[in-house]
Structure 1
Amino acid sequence: MCAPGIVRSAHDNATRTSRRALLGALGLAAAATVSAPLARAVRPSRVVDLTHTLTPRLPVWPGNPAPTMVPVARYEAGGFAQHALAMWEHTGTHLDAPVHRVPGGATTDRLAVEDLVAPLVVVDISARAGDPDATVTRADIDTWQSQHGAIPDRAFVAMYSGWEQRLADPGAFVNLDAKGTPHAPAFSPEAAEYLVTQCGVVGVGVDTLSLDSATSPDYGAHTAILGAGRYGVEMLAGLATVPPSGATVVVGAPKHEGGTGGPCRVLALV
């Protein structure tokens, strides 16, 4: 049995130790609380705009009208300027919602916002773009994965063909044949099917006017992508300035009720 003084001394030492341990634990918790927001707030080294500027001179799908912008309010009459915009949904850098191809599919206002921010994968087929009917194939995807690793889950996969080099000549960009059919690089239906069924992508994009090549008369790439509830983005810009992997894409999709698609602002965070 210990003397009363020894018991009091032992109790005091134990209390001090517990307090020190408690303060240390609180300090670690506070540090973790502070560091977590800081980690989330880290800015990318570059923000790259993957969007073409909408102008009346921008190439559009054959038969679609060019976008227009008409002044409807002036500083001199009320103090504010305003324009009325007129364009079809699928104009410029724009999104294809599932309902664009699939009856009953998701409309622009029903897209999951989580799917609009995704790892960006860029598949470069520009070396083959001399053939206007070149497509991203399953072999291209396999080659990309052998060089960069597996496509991340819920990624956005974009084709870079370099087609925007034709932008100054709208006729060359649309590239109609004698029958009035446009020809430009796109995704093969097989590659599109593989991306949605085996890679779990949230969306697919191209730097041309269509996800589909003219060699796919049944719109196989559109059907595979939009039919699986994913979205497409057509007429992307600037893909040559972002890495093939490691960036994040942010798709500023339109949100109008019942929309089949619409012009969007697309950014890459590098």
Structure 2
Amino acid sequence: MIDLSHPIATGMTVYPGDPAVRVRAALSIARDGSAVAALELGTHTGTHVDAPAHIVPGGRTIDRVGLDELIGEALVLDPTRGGAEPLSSGESIGIERLGIERLSRVPAIVIVRTGWDRRFGGRRYFRHPHLAPEAAERLCELGMHVLGVDMFSPDPTPNPGEEGAFPVHEIVLGADGLIVENLRGLEALGERAQLGFFPLPVRGGDGAPVRAVAWRQSAGGRRRG
């Protein structure tokens, strides 16, 4: 299996305004007979899934999302494939850049691979590209239910203190879909991949950290395990 998740660690990069992450020792083997860590983090820490309740009043919470919605074959879209120019900071990724203008159907899970995960932990990570709203609308029309990205968000990330706009969130979560953010290592995947996202079942949660994985394919093209 291929791990597509960022490790959770004290002081890790978080979305502007989100709770800071702290992992500290609460019990120790020497003192208490067992080791237990205390975690302080937000529901959108690291690699995580947004439930509709993230922005939709009365929307589904993460504990009402079925695991079957988050497992299956995914289409991996790479806007830099085929000799296209590398993506630039703040670039809007449209339908043609994604190469979906001639598609008639997509799987329920669609991943957009930008390579921006290599900047995770640095200031440039905040200035990631983003998905054009019309591209998100088109993907939903084609059958997408889960959108995954290797960036903070499929929408632009605002500067600290600024109010953000979330048109792609409104389109996808507004259709009762799901968004997986801060994926990493997508260069290990082909155009089609078997993926699984396993969130913490936070009761009433607007989202949750996930362990995101891809299954390696055997030489014959069939999934191992």
Q: Give yes or no for TM over 0.5.
A: yes
Structure 1 residue matching 2:10: 3-state secondary structure: coil
Overall identity of the aligned pairs, in %: 31
Give the deviation of 1:144 after TM superposition: 5.0
Give the deviation of 1:56 after TM superposition: 2.5
CA distance in 1: counterparts of 2:131 and 2:208, whole angstroms: 21
**Any residues of structure 2 matched to 1:1-270 within 5 Å, and which?**
47-126=1-80, 127-141=84-98, 143=99, 151-154=105-108, 156-168=109-121, 170-174=122-126, 183-196=127-140, 198-213=141-156, 218-245=165-192, 247-270=193-216
Deviations 1:203-244 (A, max 9, x none): 0011111121259x5311000000000110111000111101
Structure 2 residue matching 1:77: 3-state secondary structure: helix
State the AA in 2 paired with 1:73: L
State the AA in 2 paired with 1:121: L
CA distance in 1: counterparts of 2:32 and 2:182, whole angstroms: 37
Distance 1:72 1:218, change over 3 A: closer
State the AA in 2 paired with 1:190: E
How many residues are matched? Answer: 209
Structure number having the greater strand percentage = 2
Give the deviation of 1:136 after TM superposition: 3.0
Structure 2: 5+ residue stretches without partners: 159-163, 217-225
Contact 2:67–2:198 (Cα < 8 Å) also in 1: no
The normalised TM-score by structure 1 is 0.71
User: In the alignment, which residue of structure 1 is the partner of 2:222?
Assistant: none
State the AA in 1 paired with 2:208: G
Contact 1:226–1:232 (Cα < 8 Å) also in 2: yes
Contact 1:135–1:188 (Cα < 8 Å) also in 2: yes
User: In the alignment, which residue of structure 2 is the partner of 1:36?
Assistant: none
* Deviating more after overlay: 250-259 vs 205-214: 205-214
C-alpha RMSD of the superposition: 2.2
CA distance in 1: counterparts of 2:56 and 2:24, whole angstroms: 34
Structure 1: 5+ residue stretches without partners: 1-46, 175-182
